[in-house]
């Protein structure tokens, strides 16, 4: 297996990767980075979500772009605003101290904020097709001089009806650029785009593998934001041996949660981007030796960590997208050992979790948090088991002598009770826990679905309704607001029925006559 040093990256970039904790390149990184650094061909990369595509194209782009250009040098197109934000943040973290400006632009964000950023000069733009087109039409984004164009998750842009917009954007770019297209699948329309808009290209395929780890039991708990810390403590306490990562969204959250855990007596520590490399290595060494058994971290700080035999990965904060979810939970359930991945969600996050579940093609089951009495019962059992182990071992004579002296005037029950109270003071006190009310998930209302076929492909209202009735057992009266347009369509369904439809078409994606996904507010307006 190659290392990052073998791929042709500069010493400055290798130092950035070391600081971030990246240890070995993924298959798509191993293939893409040298091809971009050494070759002149365009690249079509086939790789699943969660395989490190951003670093695969981001690192070579950072390497080869000059500083202080004052014009857009690279454009990365993504299908969703969440992915645009994630990719921009990842590229920003990979550039280190190199003077390159990275800006995400997407629908839903203030257009004024984007205009100010673009007017100051931007090197790398990461955007969704709809908002990129808006800026092109306003003449606030010029692409004639770009050196790199990246189409990320091209098959998703096809499914979501963005391909015509993507073609328009490509036509606004200059001829002197290298184009990179990444896609999990290679439908004919994607290959037609490659042939029509790309020069001679190299096809790179990463082993698809599994998006998630088969040995990982994936669970979610519905709790109010204010109850998350209490829920975390219960999960840790009910386990016989907890050895896990706890993911938070921000550095502030990481520090706060780690501090609260330490104050409550747990062996925990924090890891985020503001921690020096020297301290980072010390913390990781303590964690690997199990001197601490809980490590609270941000996504970026945890990238590249290679720690074996984790029992748990806990998403204290919901992952932003399926790729982040895959990266997080892939750290448990390794080497044939079963692990547990737990995600906390509030009532408003249920639909976003369902989106992650659908895109990651995995099963995340709902569970109930342990009751206080169950946690206390588990603790009592562990105390009894530990005492039994000590009793069976060779007891040192001085402790037996003290025991005999204590038993002269006191009963064995009183002596043992006093010893337990002294050793485990507060451990079995139910008042040390607070009650948790489970969040009530809002599953009512309707969901808008996007159909990647329209009248030009022979789709009619009657045909669409017939397919939903026959394949998904949806009643016609539940299907509302059907709009059949030239190239795509929309329907509205009650939330539960929408989930049934999405689940069916996700499972039967290959042989299905329709492609149906959730509607996105950043879709092209026709």
User: Which structure tokens are listed for 107?
Assistant: 């629908």
Distance CA 234, CA 487 (A): 51
> Residues, the chain, total?
526
Per the domain annotation, does 223 fall within a domain? yes
Q: Indicate if 327 and 413 belong to the same structural domain.
A: no
**Beta pairing, strands 312-315 & 365-366:** unpaired
Q: Are 198 and 316 in contact (CB under 8 A)?
A: no
Q: Indicate if 191 and 300 belong to the same structural domain.
A: no
Per the domain annotation, does 18 fall within a domain? yes
SS3 288: helix
Distance CA 332, CA 339 (A): 5
Number of domain units in the chain: 4
Per the domain annotation, does 211 fall within a domain? no
pLDDT number for residue 280: 82
Q: Indicate if 150 and 83 belong to the same structural domain.
A: yes
Q: What are the pLDDT digits (tens) for 198-217?
A: 989 999 987 654 444 456 89
CATH classification of the domain holding 113: 3.40.50.300
Q: Indicate if 220 and 199 belong to the same structural domain.
A: no
- Among the listed ranges 49-53, 143-147, 239-243, 463-467, which one has the minimum average pLDDT value? 49-53
| Global pTM value | 0.51
Q: Indicate if 79 and 189 belong to the same structural domain.
A: yes
Q: Indicate if 20 and 167 belong to the same structural domain.
A: yes
Q: Indicate if 184 and 259 belong to the same structural domain.
A: no
Q: Indicate if 497 and 420 belong to the same structural domain.
A: no
Q: What are the pLDDT digits (tens) for 130-178?
A: 999 999 999 999 999 999 999 998 888 887 788 899 999 999 999 999 9
Percentage above 90 pLDDT, the chain: 36
Residue 313 backbone phi and psi in degrees, to 5: -120, 125
Distance CA 518, CA 449 (A): 5
Position 14 confidence tier, pLDDT thresholds 50, 70, 90: very high
Q: What are residue 202's DSSP bridge partners?
A: 43
pLDDT number for residue 210: 47
Q: Which domain holds residue 358?
A: 216-369
């Amino acid at each position: 297996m190659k290392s990052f040093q073998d791929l042709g990256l500069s010493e400055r970039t290798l130092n950035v990767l070391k600081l971030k904790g990246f240890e070995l390149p993924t298959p798509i990184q191993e293939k893409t980075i040298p091809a971009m650094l050494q070759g002149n061909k365009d690249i079509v990369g086939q790789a699943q979500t969660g395989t490190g595509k951003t670093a695969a194209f981001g690192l070579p782009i950072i390497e080869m772009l000059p500083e202080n250009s004052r014009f857009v040098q690279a454009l990365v197109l993504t299908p969703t605003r969440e992915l645009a934000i994630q990719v921009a943040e990842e590229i920003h973290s990979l550039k280190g101290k190199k003077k390159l400006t990275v800006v995400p632009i997407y629908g839903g964000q203030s257009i004024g904020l984007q205009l100010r950023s673009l007017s100051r000069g931007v090197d790398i733009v990461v955007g969704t097709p709809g908002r990129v087109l808006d800026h092109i039409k306003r003449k606030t984004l010029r692409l004639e001089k770009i050196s790199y164009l990246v189409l990320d998750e091209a098959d998703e842009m096809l499914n979501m009806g963005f391909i015509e917009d993507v073609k328009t954007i490509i036509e606004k770019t200059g001829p002197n650029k290298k184009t990179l297209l990444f896609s999990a699948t290679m439908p004919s329309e994607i290959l037609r785009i490659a042939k029509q808009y790309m020069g001679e290209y190299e096809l790179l395929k990463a082993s698809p593998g599994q998006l998630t780890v088969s040995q990982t039991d994936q669970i979610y708990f519905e709790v109010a934001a204010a109850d998350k810390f209490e829920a975390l403590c219960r999960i840790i306490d009910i386990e016989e041996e907890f050895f896990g990562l706890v993911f938070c969204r921000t550095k502030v959250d990481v520090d706060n949660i780690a501090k609260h855990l330490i104050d409550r007596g747990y062996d925990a520590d924090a890891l985020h981007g503001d921690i020096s490399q020297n301290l980072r290595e010390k913390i990781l060494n303590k964690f690997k030796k199990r001197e601490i058994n809980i490590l609270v971290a941000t996504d970026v700080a945890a990238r590249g960590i290679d720690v074996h035999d984790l029992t748990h990965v806990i998403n204290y904060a919901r992952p932003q997208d399926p790729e982040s979810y895959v990266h997080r939970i892939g750290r448990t359930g390794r080497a044939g050992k079963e692990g547990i991945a737990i995600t906390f969600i509030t009532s408003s996050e249920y639909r976003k979790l369902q989106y992650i579940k659908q895109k990651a093609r995995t099963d995340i089951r709902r569970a109930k948090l342990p009751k206080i009495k169950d946690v206390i019962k588990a603790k009592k059992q562990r105390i009894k088991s530990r005492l039994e182990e000590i009793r069976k071992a060779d007891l040192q004579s001085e402790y037996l002598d003290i025991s005999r002296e204590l038993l002269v005037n006191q009963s064995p029950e009183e002596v043992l009770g006093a010893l337990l109270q002294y050793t485990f003071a507060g451990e079995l006190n139910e008042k040390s826990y607070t009650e948790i009310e489970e969040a009530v998930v809002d599953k009512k209302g309707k969901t808008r679905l996007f159909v990647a076929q329209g009248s030009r492909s022979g789709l009619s209202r009657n045909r669409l309704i017939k397919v939903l009735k026959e394949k998904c057992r949806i009643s016609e009266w539940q299907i509302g607001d059907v709009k059949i347009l030239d190239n795509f369509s929309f329907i509205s369904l009650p939330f539960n029925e929408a989930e049934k439809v999405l689940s069916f078409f996700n499972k039967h994606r290959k042989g299905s006559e329709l492609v149906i996904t959730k509607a996105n507010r950043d879709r092209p307006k026709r």
